[in-house]
Structure 1
């Protein structure tokens, strides 16, 4: 997966054609990125999207940032993730998020306590099904922007995914998770024009603070093509980071 990846742009107005998404993944791979992440909301299936993009690339890893727990039952989430992991070994990471009360309500569910809801969901992922899910391992990490969810991630998952928080939180997250858990950190790409050196410095700070991997988050609402071009322009500054 490498130290730096990118999240695909999230637009409020357009749903990029599959051909455009496949081409964008190839462009990001050519730019030197080794991992691409995507979001999920009710009505947008991130796992279907990543299946398409995994098939269109050869080496790049993909992850959900995040897969929304209200979008599908826990057992179906696990089965779909395991299917991708079986088809593309070592190239898929499942990031899970509890989402928002409005998303739960949109599918007729009660949001409840975020911690209890997430614990129950993860516990049910391994429930027996017929047919059974593929026997294929994959990293499972939990979106965690607070100390309680972070501790839960360390307890029941393979790591955590905090986003848009200072490096001091990353340092504390590493202490909470311990040395062996996967810590992926989201960093916002902001500014007009984008200051590539400043973004690279933020990435370096997060990696030094204990992150295993940093994913860059383009501004929400940016046009898809413009977001991809922005990420391509950032690539040379990131390639100069130690360890790249």
Structure 2
């Protein structure tokens, strides 16, 4: 059964006002809320609030970087949230990026694959309540034991782009988190997972700009695409997906320092595939295409729109109701 998620917190709304947001999501049929961690809220606080305000929602991080917390602190944060929401929390892990890790958190971004694998293995043991004592390839831990291991250890998911990390997720994690891909790209990524174990979840973060102003949506989409897909890991991901020639002009302009030219070089068809836009009902059906392609948990990353800016809280509640899976069933 497909679950539907929303990325939280929603931009422009204080965390203290998210009780109404979580209630609206539940009423609209959303089953999950997934937090991101870049330079806004941390990954855990919005989920802790959701755990208290809407006990039916499932919670997940998409993602928590493996570099920016020590292994023990990451285990403690995950254990606390798993204790607050037993059986409803999943910990999504990822390497993040050199900017987030190195430039903003003053941590050396080295050997991201090995660090992710090592943190995954450490957490698997620590969250079971085991004492972890020994050296991994990228760090060593001396006699760490959680004082309060969760009664239900959370599933561990990996953010993965290319074959190496996808195969690591298939071999050692409980699920995979996909990002910045079109619905038509999903089968290629899923194929790298091979035969999946029971309860292995494929989660995908999907950028959605529910507006009928296509010019606005494409302008915003181009800005996001040039910000993300020029990061080396994402650039290699899209080369692997077959967009080498299509996105080469963008990468060339970006490398030459021409930011405006880079944005202009992104074709409409790429923007439309990666940033869904149109009326909410149309966006909802485009999200369903990800589920049809093999995603178990499509997670909407809601982008700002002129309609939301003009309509405020009432417009947001209406939009959530129109985007949610229950609206589709009612229709």
TM-score range, shorter chain: 0.7 to 0.9
- Determine which of 178, 187, 196 is the counterpart of 1:179: 196
Q: Offset of 1:220 from its aligned partner?
A: 6.7
Asked if the contact 2:291–2:298 (Cα under 8 Å) also holds between the matched residues in 1, the reply is: yes
CA distance in 1, matches of 2:5, 2:115: 29
Q: Which residue does 1:235 correspond to in 2?
A: 324
Conserved in 1, the CA contact under 8 Å of 2:211 and 2:280?
A: no
1:228 and 1:24 map into 2 onto residues whose CA distance is 7
Residue number in structure 2 paired with 1:206: 290
What are the within-5 Å matches in structure 2 for residues 33-112 of structure 1? 33-41=30-38, 44-105=41-102, 106-112=104-110
Q: Which segment is superposed worse, 50-59 or 176-185?
A: 176-185
**Secondary structure of 1:109's match?**
coil
Instruction: Name the CA distance, whole Å, in 2 between partners of 1:44 and 1:104.
Output: 16
1-structure distance, mates of 2:210, 2:49: 31
1:218-229 counterparts in 2 under 5 A? 218-219=302-303
**TM value normalised by structure 2:** 0.64
Counterpart of 2:208 (choices 178, 185, 189) is 189
Q: Distance in 1 between matches of 2:74 and 2:2?
A: 25
C-alpha separation between the residues in 2 aligned to 1:10 and 1:18? 9
Alignment of 1:167 onto 2:207: no
**Counterparts of 2:112 and 2:318 in 1: how far apart (Å)?**
36
Does the 8 A contact of 2:33 with 2:47 survive in 1? Answer: no
Q: 1:100 to 1:10 in 2, by over 3 A?
A: farther
Normalising by structure 1, we get a TM-score of: 0.84
Aligned partners of 1:8 and 1:228: how far apart in 2?
A: 15
Contact 1:5-1:215 at 8 Å conserved across structures: yes
Cα distance in 1 for partners of 2:299, 2:54 equals 19
Q: Flag the 1:43–1:200 CA change in 2: closer, same or farther, 3 A.
A: closer
Name structure 1 gaps, 5 residues minimum.
Answer: none
How many angstroms apart in 2 are the aligned matches of 1:43 and 1:186?
Answer: 17
SS at match of 1:51: helix
Q: RCO higher in 1 or 2 (8 Å CA, sep ≥ 6)?
A: 1
Contact 1:163/1:185 (<8 A) preserved: yes
The answer (yes or no) to whether the contact 2:35–2:44 under 8 Å persists in 1 is no
Rounded to whole Å, the distance in 1 between the matches of 2:94 and 2:304 is 17
Contact 1:185 1:213 survives alignment (8 Å): yes
Contact 2:158 2:176 in 1 (8 A): yes
Q: Would you say the 8 A contact 1:9–1:227 is kept in 2?
A: no
Task: Determine helix, strand or coil for the equivalent of 2:153.
Answer: coil
Q: What's 1:29 paired with? A: 26
What residue is the counterpart of 2:265 in the other structure?
none
Aligned to 2:228: none
Q: Which has the larger radius of gyration?
A: 2
RMSD: 2.8
Higher mean C-alpha deviation, range 201-210 or range 95-104: 201-210
